[in-house]
Amino acid sequence: MAEGLDLLIVKPGNQKRLYQGFSSSLSGLEPPLWAGLIAGFIRENRFSVQIIDAEAEDLSIDAVVSGIIKQNPILVAFIISGTNPSASTPSMPGASLIINTLKRDAPGIKVLLAGLHPSALPQQSMREERVDFVCEGEGFYTILELLKEIKSKGGRYNIKGLWYRKNGKIISNDRAPLIENLDMLPFAAWDLLPMDKYRAHNWHCFGRINQRQPYGVIYTSLGCPFKCKFCCINAIFGKHGIRYRSPQRVVEEIDYLVKNYAVKNIKILDEMFALDEKHVLGICGLLIERGYDLNMWAYARVDTVNENMLKKMKQAGINWLGVGIESANEDVRHGVSKGRFNKDKIRESVDMIHRAGIYIAANYIFGLPHDDLTTMQETLDLAKEINCEYSNFYAAMAYPGSRLYEEALEKQMSLPEDWLGYAQFSAQTLPLATECLSSAQILRFRDKAFEDYHSSPKYLKMIEDKFGLEAVEHINQMLKHKIERKYS
């Protein structure tokens, strides 16, 4: 067969197993930004590239493999990266199924694994998966140099960030350097993605629940300076820290999304957007000048927002903030290195955000190492008290790349047998047990807390007052979807 495409990037699909009944319409469906970023970078360096988003296109394994073989690339890269700590590792089963079928039907096509999960477990990924290469790190330089080497037929893989096999032995190289000036990166290759398929989270569009499309996502920074033990997001970067794009470059890409795809709903993917006030105000100021009718959301911490920042965010179209509260109990939070704030600070920040006219998607975690039934109830009680417009209740997971994962291995604690067990909404979900709580207890508490919170009269009355009866009905329909659990 004649040589075809240089690089084909695949975003594997696994929605139905990851989200069960929520996958059809309730869950968000996000553009795979890392796939788009790498595609844009490789294309700018004069290699041909395409993307298959199996998740968005709802493609079967056979359809994905058929599409790969038809394009006959010299390299297929499976990008296993989500847009939060919980979204990478659970994508591995979907990727494995496609890779195994591809290697059966077209063993000569070279396969690379890249993204957050392979960066956290590069050697294990090489050992367990039928791949030729694993990329540890961001991937820009590594994938570019690998393509050059494959095309030159040199067979020398002394490429930074690359793991490979030689004579049956797994070989690793030093990490590749990070891109320090993010403005040198081209825009994501939006034209290679099925932009008509993506949709915002349901809560993101309370008030216009039937207008969740078009939907775009964007980074304004990469990395995070904080060291929360439950987070694995920095595994792909190899260290803690944050790098920023310039406000001008960020808004140029938002301009592109608005003008070319009529995007109104946008998620700012930064692990911590509301951090550097100058950066935030720079972006917001440029957006305010443009007068777009945007509906954006971003992540914030309880201890990083202020009134001036919030005022400008709201004027720019940032209508929601995802706020990491995690636990109401200070000892529980301190045990995972999450902030030094107390309940009064939480209440104060929530009130300040609400006064600015911004809604809150509050994030809580049940089953952190120092949790017991009393502290988890304390967290639920606080959630009900502050009554945010939406609450994400997570079960604590020892995600590969996190300090909790390292500690679980050190203590020989039980971890999921399958990568799908790390998904929050799968049948196989298996949270990390604590000294006081079993995995099943944590999962039962989490599922009941979600239902209790979102069905409470106080909450539903607030939703009706702010968003109308259509949003209330949507929430009631959401609550009818019961999650099948193997371990609860």
| Predicted local distance difference test score (pLDDT) of residue 19 | 47
CATH class for domain 199-479? alpha beta
Residue among 376, 377, 311, 304 nearest 346 (CA): 304
Residue among 237, 238, 12, 1 nearest 111 (CA): 12
Residues 7-172, CATH architecture: 3-Layer(aba) Sandwich (3.40)
Residue 19: which H helix or E strand, with range?
A: helix 15-19
For 389-410, the DSSP string reads: SEEEEEE----TTSHHHHHHHH
- Sign of the four-CA dihedral 478, 481, 487, 488: positive
199, 461 Cβ separation under 8 angstroms: no
- The 3-state DSSP class for residue 355 equals helix
In this prediction, the residues of the chain whose per-residue pLDDT falls under 70 are 1-3, 14-25, 82-85
| Predicted local distance difference test score (pLDDT) of residue 155 | 83
86, 120 Cβ separation under 8 angstroms: no
Q: Give the largest CA-CA distance in the chain.
A: 67
| Predicted local distance difference test score (pLDDT) of residue 188 | 98
| Predicted local distance difference test score (pLDDT) of residue 341 | 85
Neighbours of 174 (CB within 10 A): 12
Cα 158 from Cα 168, distance rounded (Å): 16
Give residue-wise pLDDT tens across range 41-99. Answer: 999 999 999 999 999 999 999 999 999 999 999 999 999 986 666 778 999 999 999 99
- Type of residue at 447: D
| Predicted local distance difference test score (pLDDT) of residue 88 | 86
Instruction: State how beta strands 75-80 and 110-115 pair.
Output: parallel
| Predicted local distance difference test score (pLDDT) of residue 84 | 67
Residue among 376, 379, 479, 378 nearest 434 (CA): 376
| Predicted local distance difference test score (pLDDT) of residue 3 | 57
Two tokens, residue 200: 């915002």
| Predicted local distance difference test score (pLDDT) of residue 57 | 94
| Predicted local distance difference test score (pLDDT) of residue 14 | 67
| Predicted local distance difference test score (pLDDT) of residue 23 | 46
| Predicted local distance difference test score (pLDDT) of residue 83 | 61
- The 3-state DSSP class for residue 6 equals coil
- Type of residue at 79: I
From edge to edge, which strands make up the β-sheet containing 110-115? 49-53, 7-11, 75-80, 110-115, 133-135, 162-166, 169-172
Domain map of the chain by residue range?
7-172, 199-479
Instruction: State how beta strands 162-166 and 169-172 pair.
Output: antiparallel
pTM for the predicted model, two decimal places: 0.94
User: How many helical (H) and strand (E) elements, i.e. helices and strands, does the chain have?
Assistant: 18, 15
363, 396 Cβ separation under 8 angstroms: no
